[in-house]
Structure 1
Amino acid sequence: MTALLLGMKKKVVQLILQLNSWQVRKHSKGHRPRAKMMPSRSHYPNQRWAIDMTRIYSGNDGWSTSACVIDTCTREIVGWKLSKSGKANTTEAALQEGLIYRFGRLQRLKEPIVLRSDNGLVFTSKSFTKTVKDYNFTQEFITPYTPERPSEATTPQAKPRINDMIERFFRTIKEECIWHYNFKSLKEANKIIGEWIDFYNLKRKHSALQYKTPAEVFHLVA
């Protein structure tokens, strides 16, 4: 029977399994709040943060993962972590650094901050969602693009960019920093990227911020 099923198309196999009550039903997952069709930008600091990860080659240490957290009002990178692990502990460390950067210490938020991310395995893991809840963030997942959702986007070019701010940051740091270096190690990558993020927050002016730096915008609107 197994050999016979392997030679069939997936839909035919599923039908046979269903008719014979052999198919294991998937357990429904808990409700995951989706981000509505709105731009990433928020009106006030600490209203919404966005988090994402990217891979960076670190020479002798191989591939590493950088997790970054951005304030979607000021465009400040409030927290980041570069490590060999692409697991939840890397994103949790970046989020904790964001709390220290903004509030001076690790603490449970008095007023919740929306935390926007994709719904990948790391951001939906038990460890990460527990950390988010413990610090009183409200987790929000972006709606993935699918061709079957014509009401949201009719072509790939019309894909709603509802987490575009953190994606744009990663493109910027790669174009202006990472791709200019041949990192020899994770330690070297960590040092150079850290210095560039300080420059980005404190000195790099943004056209989208009326040619102000993220730090200047924070002090103006906070």
Structure 2
Amino acid sequence: MARNQASTALILRTIGIKEATYYARRQRLQKGNQARTYRGGRPQPGYSWTTDGKRISDEQIKEYLMELMAGEESAYGYRKLRICLQRKHQLIINKKKTYRLCKELDILMPQRQTKPRYPRRIARNRTIHRSNELWELDIKYGYIAGEDRFFYLMAVLDVYDRSVIDYHIGLNCEGKHAAQTLQRALWKRKVYQTEKKPVIRTDNGPQFISRIFEETCEHCQVEHERIPPKTPNLNAHIESFHASLERDCYQKHEFTTYHDAYQIVTEYIDFYNQRRIHGSLYDLPPATFRRQVAARQVPSFTVTL
């Protein structure tokens, strides 16, 4: 025995494997080959009680269920069948057991398919000729090193003039914040009450598929389209803004407090809109480009995406 152990140790040293690793793996394999014992929860009793203290077997309960399914209660699901058992037979039974017995009898009703109120509209290729035709919304995370937590930046960006129209900065970001940010952006661009409104493009984040955001889009009469999963290129313009934000702001500052992060990011967005040169806008900042296009000082163009 000792000779076998010595030869094993020599082989392990030769191939560079530690003895503890070898024996631990061998022990796991031996345990895996053994028959597993049941370590589940409490075993099923096989009966239920009535309100007056009588014990009713599961087989008898199944008969009750089959009698119900043969009568007017055939259209009921397991939840209503449980109520019938309680009322007709005074059974003390919960919905989980009723579901299990119905499943064993194969009498479960098919699950009802609900039609979403707001059908998903897939983003499609577009040609943009002016501002306020297509807006992109997305979220960017930032890290506060001094407080060891993250904050959120949700921005609305005009695809044509590349302006950050409005944004939300906070320690949380929910559907209500997306709805409020969209409404503010519509007011700022003075298109809240106009007949023709921009198309809103987002990904499939929980904020953008929430009920409150969809209701806001419906109330404001704006079309909301969502890009397919794993296609960030369809949100390329706001992704480009996020890349600039990461490179020119997040990587150059170590935020110590949420107040610092809010102030620095706000200042960067103002710089991005008012002073940062944009190569695709005739080397003009977005705000200057909008004014000069409106005054016809620079030629307009089209954006194809």
The TM-score with structure 2 as length reference comes to: 0.56
SS at match of 1:45: coil
Equivalent position of 2:254 in the other structure: 182
Give how far 1:169 is off.
0.6
Matched residues in 2 for 1:92 and 1:182: separation?
A: 30
Aligned residue among 26, 48, 52 for 2:134:
48
Structure showing greater Rg: 2
User: Which of 104, 107, 119 in structure 1 is aligned with 2:204?
Assistant: 119
Taking the aligned partners of 1:160 and 1:118, their CA distance within structure 2 comes to 8
Q: Aligned to 1:162, what secondary structure does the other structure show?
A: helix
Structure 1, unaligned runs of 5 or more: 4-16, 146-158
- Size of the aligned set, in residue pairs, is 188
Residue pair 1:55, 1:66 contacting (<8 A) in 2 also:
yes
Separation of aligned partners in 2, 1:61 and 1:110? 46
CA contact (8 A) 2:183 2:192 kept: no
CA distance in 2, matches of 1:175, 1:26: 46
Unaligned runs of 5+ in 2: 1-39, 41-102, 295-305
In the alignment, structure 1 residue 72 sits paired with structure 2 residue 159: yes
SS at match of 2:270: helix
Q: Which residue identity lines up with residue 57 of structure 1 in the other structure? A: Y
Cα RMSD over matched residues? 2.4
Q: For the structure 1 residues 131 and 61, does the alpha-carbon distance in structure 2 shift closer, same or farther, using more than 3 Å as the test?
A: farther
The structure richer in helix per residue is 2
1:36 aligned partner: 124
Within 5 Å, which residues of 2 pair with 1:74-93?
74-93=161-180
The 5 Å alignment of 1:70-219 reads 70-103=157-190, 107-145=192-230, 161-219=233-291
With a CA cutoff of 8 Å and minimum separation of 6, indicate the structure with the bigger relative contact order.
1
- State the distance in 2 between where 1:78 and 1:36 align: 23
